[in-house]
Structure 1
Amino acid sequence: MTTPLHPAVERAGLLIDRKRYEEARELLARQLAEDPEDIRAWVELARSHLGDQENGTKALEATERALALDAENIWALLTHARALRAGGRFPETEGVLREVIRLAPDYWYSYALLADWLWRIRWLGSVRTKGDRAGREDFMAALREADLIARQAIRLGPEEVYAYEVAWRIADMAADRSAADQLDQAILRLDPQHEEALARHTERAATGPGVRAAKAATLYADALASAPGSAPMQRGLDEASHRLLRGVRWLALLCLALAAVGIDLFATGAESQKELPLSPGQRLWDLVPMAAVWALGALLRYRRLRAGTRVNLHSLIRRRTWPRVVLGQAAWAMLCALLITQIPWTQRTVPLVLFWAGLVPTAATMWFDRRKTG
């Protein structure tokens, strides 16, 4: 299956891998002008057309020239299958890939590619044949057939990530969560920085029952260290960070409740309320439990966060509107608590207004912004 490449063809293949398709085509045109029977040059030319504009027509012309020279060339057949799909002749790819399997029965990639496409081909065929009568049973039958081929690809290429990716897609479409989770673990064993598998694994761990915001943020921050460009994991970290910020409002509301208790804002039963104004010592003492709430509930918790999570908290506040709203509400509730306790009021009317002014706007929006990170 490996044949020596002309240096120009090899350079063209590297250019295609780097998405420099025009340069690759120039090299290949010169090579084919000198040697029009260079099969791999025709194959690379087809690849350049598929990579540049998904031009199935030109790619098909190139692969047909290659197959005319050698109808059993594996690389030409595989590229021909891709060209057929790009050219709108998807169902025909099955026959081509099965021919590849016949010619190279131990080559894992042809099995993986056939499994990846076969369930789609079968489902499209059912829809064309049965129309609205095509149902889930047809879909599941297509997935089962593809899954058997994907398992064969894994047996032939146990260290090849793509084979596991195909099997994962089939398990995911079949809603087989257990199999999909096992395949994700296999993918991460082979490629610990696999972005999609890492994102799925982290999301499952971070959104499980009983997982607190700090733990979720740590999981996402650790995952981002392995795959820093992952948009899903960045969104997950932003959501976990927003949950941490939402907890700050609870601390502010607790301080507001402590302020109400400190000034004896609401009469309870037959007990007489504290005489106003409160003494300076009492007003200072009312600050102690508030300071303890913030020291234990916010400062200590913040210091225990990973550095990446702390950085993202600051970044989230700068980038997003709702985190700033959350902090603004917490600051407003805390300001009301301080005004209630630290001004020597002689009547409870104004402190009562301050209490409700701090409580109502904050509590009214807490349910609304649960998913607001933007």
Structure 2
Amino acid sequence: MSAAGGRATPVRRAEMLASAGRPAEAIALLTRHLASEPDDAAAWFLLAHCQLSVGRRLRREAPPGGREGADMTREARRAAAEGHRSALRAVELRPHKAATHRLLANALLDVGEVDAALAAAREATRLAPQAWRELWTLGRMMMESAARERDPERRRAGLEEALDVAERSARAAPPEDPTPHKLTVNILERLGRHAEAAETWERVVAADPTSAEAHDIHVQLRERVGGSTVAERLRTLVARVAESPGDWSARHALDVQTHRLLRRLRLVALVALGVVALGRPLGVGVGVGLAVGLAVGVTAALRGPGRLPRGVWRGMRRLCLRVPVVALAPAAALWCLGCAFVIALVPLDGEEVAAVVEAGAVPALVTVGVDAWWRRRQAARVRRGRLDTRDWYGARPRPRRPHG
């Protein structure tokens, strides 16, 4: 929309700024415009949307603990409160528009008023009963309301009702839009219906088969019902990072799965050491055969065709350099395999074999304890608010405050 003479209106310019990822500049422009046009409902609607966007970004990027995190959290609350006031003004000016009530519901949720948010979402759905965005908002508010229920039966009943609304939203939405399906999957996961969640997500993958993120989420869901492997999960995560290098959450998930793989390798090496030690009395040839067979089997499992992409090995090296505790697992695995080959190749008596087994297994078991202690310490820091879960491995970039 343009004003006379082809010049864009302030609201239109603010829309372009918001679309370009510059909500703070859009807020400044709309604030000046509303000082002279206080009854412009479209301006109030867009202002509320931008204020809520800034608040969510600040809340998402605020580091846990410290003065900077406290300041950003406080700014996020202020932005959410301003967005709530702007949304209320938009509803006053356009009380018969479903979109304004939907915006108000989201604003109320951001300031923690779940019951009022649910009421606003119901009003939006009453005004537009077939609109998928309004149905999606109602389903989300019903899910949040059910999550607050202490009684398990009432919580489950609320989630079932929210699931029905979410499925209605998915049927009414464009097939290529994954938003309503994400809500459906979220509710199914809360209900413990993981197989149905994985089946539902297949529709998203089918709608956008080129999306690495969609494939990765699908593998996560299948993993919970035993339908995928660590290698498959790593492959999809590497694809996500390659598709979106700035997606630090995908990088964190890749670190989590890589650490899990390294811990499994350490376990395999410990088992290999035990098997070779048990087979040693049968003869050197049997011991060598067992050691070589286990080494070849582990190598084939990791580097075989279509197993692990190159990005996993590169990420593994970087993770070990960034977090020394993680490097203990592959070091212990190599040490155990080395001890296994010593037992297999060097003529040793029973006491000497036992000594080598002890020399290999004890340090490896110590690394298991250190690894478990480190993970418990990280979890405790998360519970105390000193660490964001997404910063567990230190891969998250430092946030930048929005200007304005």
> Above 0.5 in TM-score?
yes
In structure 2, what is the Cα distance between the partners aligned to 1:220 and 1:121? 33
Q: Which residue of structure 2 lines up, in the alignment, with residue 270 of structure 1? A: none
In structure 1, what is the Cα distance between the partners aligned to 2:88 and 2:172? 29
Contact kept? 1:251, 1:297, Cα under 8 Å: no
Q: Which residue of structure 2 lines up, in the alignment, with residue 296 of structure 1? A: 296
User: What fraction of aligned residue pairs are identical, expressed as a percent?
Assistant: 20
Q: Which residue of structure 2 lines up, in the alignment, with residue 225 of structure 1? A: 238
Contact kept? 2:198, 2:221, Cα under 8 Å: no
Contact kept? 1:46, 1:58, Cα under 8 Å: yes
| Aligned-partner residue type, residue 265 of structure 2 | L
Contact kept? 2:288, 2:341, Cα under 8 Å: no
- Cα-to-partner distance string for 1:258-312 (whole Å, 9 max, x where unaligned): 555447xxxxxxxxxxxxxxxxxxxxx7996477436633455554243334445
Q: Which residue of structure 1 lines up, in the alignment, with residue 49 of structure 2? A: 47
Q: Which residue of structure 2 lines up, in the alignment, with residue 359 of structure 1? A: 357
Partner SS for 1:227: helix
Q: CA deviation at 1:12?
A: 2.5
Q: Which residue of structure 2 lines up, in the alignment, with residue 277 of structure 1? A: none
Unaligned runs of 5+ in 2: 55-75, 242-246, 375-404
- Map 1:158-177 to 2 at 5 A: 158-159=174-175, 160-177=177-194
The answer as to 2:154 corresponding to 1:138 is: yes
| Aligned-partner residue type, residue 81 of structure 1 | A
Partner SS for 1:175: coil
Q: Which residue of structure 1 lines up, in the alignment, with residue 259 of structure 2? A: 238
- Cα-to-partner distance string for 1:179-209 (whole Å, 9 max, x where unaligned): 22222222333345374x6445324555766
In structure 2, what is the Cα distance between the partners aligned to 1:80 and 1:360? 66
Contact kept? 2:270, 2:333, Cα under 8 Å: yes
Q: Which residue of structure 1 lines up, in the alignment, with residue 172 of structure 2? A: 156
Summarize the Cα distance change of 1:245–1:122 in structure 2 as closer, same or farther, 3 Å threshold: closer
Contact kept? 1:16, 1:47, Cα under 8 Å: no
Summarize the Cα distance change of 1:359–1:204 in structure 2 as closer, same or farther, 3 Å threshold: farther
Q: Which residue of structure 2 lines up, in the alignment, with residue 184 of structure 1? A: 201
Residue of 325, 336, 354 corresponding to 2:332? 325
Q: Which residue of structure 2 lines up, in the alignment, with residue 32 of structure 1? A: 34
| Aligned-partner residue type, residue 327 of structure 1 | L
- Cα-to-partner distance string for 1:195-246 (whole Å, 9 max, x where unaligned): 4x6445324555766x9xxx83430232113322423354224313432353
Contact kept? 1:78, 1:96, Cα under 8 Å: yes
In structure 2, what is the Cα distance between the partners aligned to 1:258 and 1:151? 58
Contact kept? 1:317, 1:324, Cα under 8 Å: no
Q: CA deviation at 1:118?
A: 1.5
Contact kept? 2:266, 2:332, Cα under 8 Å: no
In structure 1, what is the Cα distance between the partners aligned to 2:111 and 2:224? 42
Residue of 144, 148, 157 corresponding to 1:120? 144
RMSD across aligned C-alpha pairs, in angstroms? 3.7
Partner SS for 1:72: coil
Structure 2 length-normalised TM: 0.67
Summarize the Cα distance change of 1:259–1:120 in structure 2 as closer, same or farther, 3 Å threshold: closer
Summarize the Cα distance change of 1:254–1:312 in structure 2 as closer, same or farther, 3 Å threshold: farther
- Map 1:181-220 to 2 at 5 A: 181-192=198-209, 193=211, 195=213, 198-203=215-220, 205=222, 216-220=229-233
Residue of 19, 23, 26 corresponding to 2:25? 23
Summarize the Cα distance change of 1:257–1:7 in structure 2 as closer, same or farther, 3 Å threshold: farther
The answer as to 2:102 corresponding to 1:78 is: yes
Summarize the Cα distance change of 1:307–1:56 in structure 2 as closer, same or farther, 3 Å threshold: closer
Residue of 101, 126, 136 corresponding to 1:102? 126
Contact kept? 1:56, 1:87, Cα under 8 Å: yes
Contact kept? 1:140, 1:174, Cα under 8 Å: yes
Summarize the Cα distance change of 1:158–1:89 in structure 2 as closer, same or farther, 3 Å threshold: same
Partner SS for 1:85: helix
- Cα-to-partner distance string for 1:130-169 (whole Å, 9 max, x where unaligned): xxxx622211221222222112111211523121122222
Summarize the Cα distance change of 1:115–1:323 in structure 2 as closer, same or farther, 3 Å threshold: same
Structure 1 length-normalised TM: 0.72
In structure 2, what is the Cα distance between the partners aligned to 1:371 and 1:205? 31
Q: CA deviation at 1:122?
A: 5.3
In structure 2, what is the Cα distance between the partners aligned to 1:83 and 1:189? 33
Partner SS for 2:334: helix
Q: Could you say which structure has the larger radius of gyration?
A: 1
The answer as to 2:154 corresponding to 1:147 is: no
| Aligned-partner residue type, residue 179 of structure 1 | E
Summarize the Cα distance change of 1:254–1:116 in structure 2 as closer, same or farther, 3 Å threshold: same
Q: Which residue of structure 2 lines up, in the alignment, with residue 275 of structure 1? A: none
Summarize the Cα distance change of 1:144–1:204 in structure 2 as closer, same or farther, 3 Å threshold: closer
In structure 1, what is the Cα distance between the partners aligned to 2:30 and 2:165? 35
Count of aligned pairs between the two proteins: 329
Q: CA deviation at 1:90?
A: 2.5
Contact kept? 2:91, 2:100, Cα under 8 Å: yes
Contact kept? 1:216, 1:237, Cα under 8 Å: no
Partner SS for 2:229: helix
In structure 2, what is the Cα distance between the partners aligned to 1:175 and 1:77? 31
In structure 1, what is the Cα distance between the partners aligned to 2:354 and 2:260? 29
Q: Which has the higher contact order (CA 8 A, sep 6+)?
A: 2
Q: CA deviation at 1:32?
A: 2.2
